[in-house]
Amino acid sequence: MYRIGIDVGGTNIAMGVVDSELHIIKKNSIKTKEASEPEAMIAAIAQGVKDLMAKARITESEIESIGVGVPGTAELDTGRILYANNLGFEEVPFLPKLRTALGEPLGSRTFFDNDANAAAIGEYVAGKYNVPVFVMVTLGTGIGGGIIIGGKVLRGLNYAAAEFGHMSINIDGCDCNCGRKGCFEDYASATALTEMAKEAGMPEYTDGESFFAAVKDGDETANKVLDEFVYYLSEGLTNLINILQPDVLVLSGGITRAADLFLDKVRERVYRDVYSRSSAKNTEIRIASGIPDAGDVGIIGAALISE
Ligand SMILES: [Zn+2]
């Protein structure tokens, strides 16, 4: 049997067929901007699932479940996306409509969850962490997060827990699209890093890869920008550790492929500033490794959604 995982991101909707060993056997991708309205997105996802099944040569009867990770508040009891700032969705009856679009038997085997929760479950399961308190912080278009306590996702009373990205770290800071000022994701997401590089006069560095190549080459501006990014990232992570004191805090997202250029600096700042600095035990900060390719975390996490 197979599962299909669908990761709805601000840039791409990535989907894959996942086998019982949690390996992706076939993938597919749709540009989010080409299906940005709810109706168009749901139709594109349903078509994408059909294309993917054809590509992987599998039939409906071989699919155990379909899981969709969405970048916003997934209200599990109604199937609505309550709020997804990066998609501009509010109160969208996403799951019932997707189930209808997929038809039976696939519809009733389809589930959804917040994408960062899904990614955290994926990393926790695939990485066999098995610790009492586990936190994953995903640095992408925005910043998402998942908190797993005793093997269970902490969802909060309205399913909106762990929106780390909208913790303000600068109350006099820039306007966030959530309506507040100085949110963590406006300073420490992958997008924020690119923006900071642009503002520093590096318009040619439009993607993380070329930016980190410049850092490696010793480019002064790039290194200054990275230091600023490390400063903000460390502030946010220190807040999270002060509140939750997790056994493990995992960072994930495409830019963690360049973690050798910034992780030690982040650890240094966090361990210096965290309230528990004199404790014999402190949170282990590491890069997601349960799923070897960071790009697959969203798909595999989504595939593990099953409620
Ligand atoms: Zn915000």
Contact 249, 131 (CB under 8 A): no
What homologous superfamily does CATH list for 2-118+296-303? ATPase, nucleotide binding domain (3.30.420.40)
- Report how far ligand 1's centroid is from the alpha carbon of 184 (Å): 7
In this predicted model, what pLDDT tens digit does every residue of 6-33 receive, in sequence order?
999 888 999 999 999 999 999 999 998 8
CA dist 238 and 229 (Å) reads 14
Estimate to the nearest angstrom the gap between the alpha carbon of 27 and the chain centroid: 18
Whether the per-residue pLDDT at 155 is higher than 80: the answer is: yes
Q: With bands split at pLDDT 50, 70 and 90, how would you rate the model's confidence at 206? A: low
- Report how far ligand 1's centroid is from the alpha carbon of 161 (Å): 14
- Report how far ligand 1's centroid is from the alpha carbon of 251 (Å): 19
In this predicted model, what pLDDT tens digit does every residue of 72-123 receive, in sequence order?
889 999 999 998 888 889 999 999 999 999 999 999 999 999 988 998 999 9
Contact 289, 248 (CB under 8 A): no
Neighbour-count burial of 108, counting CB atoms closer than 10 A to its CB (0-12 exposed, 13-18 middle, 19+ buried): exposed
Contact 299, 266 (CB under 8 A): no
In the chain, what are the domain boundaries? 2-118+296-303, 130-289
- Report how far ligand 1's centroid is from the alpha carbon of 227 (Å): 22
Which residues does 159 contact at the CB level (< 8 Å), separation at least 6?
73, 74, 75, 76, 82, 114
- Report how far ligand 1's centroid is from the alpha carbon of 88 (Å): 13
- Report how far ligand 1's centroid is from the alpha carbon of 263 (Å): 24
- Report how far ligand 1's centroid is from the alpha carbon of 176 (Å): 5
- Report how far ligand 1's centroid is from the alpha carbon of 273 (Å): 24
pLDDT at 182: 97
CATH topology of domain 130-289: Nucleotidyltransferase; domain 5 (3.30.420)
Estimate to the nearest angstrom the gap between the alpha carbon of 7 and the chain centroid: 9
CA dist 125 and 127 (Å) reads 6
Q: Do domains 2-118+296-303 and 130-289 have the same CATH topology?
A: yes
pLDDT at 66: 98
